[in-house]
Amino acid sequence: MKSICVYCGSSDDVQNVYLDASYQMGTALARRGLTLIYGGGRTGLMGMLADGSLDAAGQVTGVIVKSMNTPRLAHPRLSKLEVTATIHQRKSRMYQLADAFIALPGGYGTLDELFETLTWAQIGEHNKPMGLLNVNHYYDSLLSFLDHAEKERFIFREHRQSLLCATTPDELMDAMQGYQYPADAIRRWMRQDS
């Protein structure tokens, strides 16, 4: 892995535990020599993530939609900032630039990006590692729901296991280094083995 795309929230009105964890994630990426790919924002977890990486001499590429490329929203210190016309182009470009994906706490946008990336892996569009940083038990309910979906047979066991989860950046990235793509499950899901 040379680059990791991180999805996370942009709200400033959150507990410090989330902001601190985001800064630590950015620092951990820089310490490992990994380029951060993210949405280009300066607020909330997004801003802290970029600051953590930049403060540790890391490389940070932001990909932002033209309508959000304003002084109040766009991070001013990035190594590189790309501007797209639409949110779909933004997500596609972040996907192209990344070797792996991590979701930190966030809202609708973070969940949209996470599940789109998971879905692409499920149908064989990519074989990149994907992980959740479960800060302050933020994703416990979501993980329980995914376990329920697996139990009810809406998700294959291998696909459920392909979403890695940890509570610290280093633990998560170590797990991602050892990720094994569930190729057999992809073939079964896509009915390619019958």
Please state the separation of Cα 21 from the chain's center in Å. Answer: 14
Q: Name the percent of the chain lying above pLDDT 90.
A: 87
- Quick one: pLDDT at residue 144? 98
Instruction: Give the residue-averaged pLDDT of 4-21.
Output: 97
Domains of the chain: 3-189 (3.40.50.450)
Comparing 157 with 108, the larger pLDDT belongs to: 108
Q: Work out the number of other CB atoms within 10 angstroms of the CB of residue 160.
A: 18
> Model confidence over 120-147: pLDDT tens digits?
998 888 999 999 999 999 999 999 999 9
Give the CA angle between residues 172, 153, 194 to the nearest 5°.
100
| Amino acid (one-letter) located at 28 | A
The radius of gyration of the chain from alpha carbons, rounded to an integer in Å, stands at: 16
Give dist(CA 44, CA 63) in Å, integer. 16
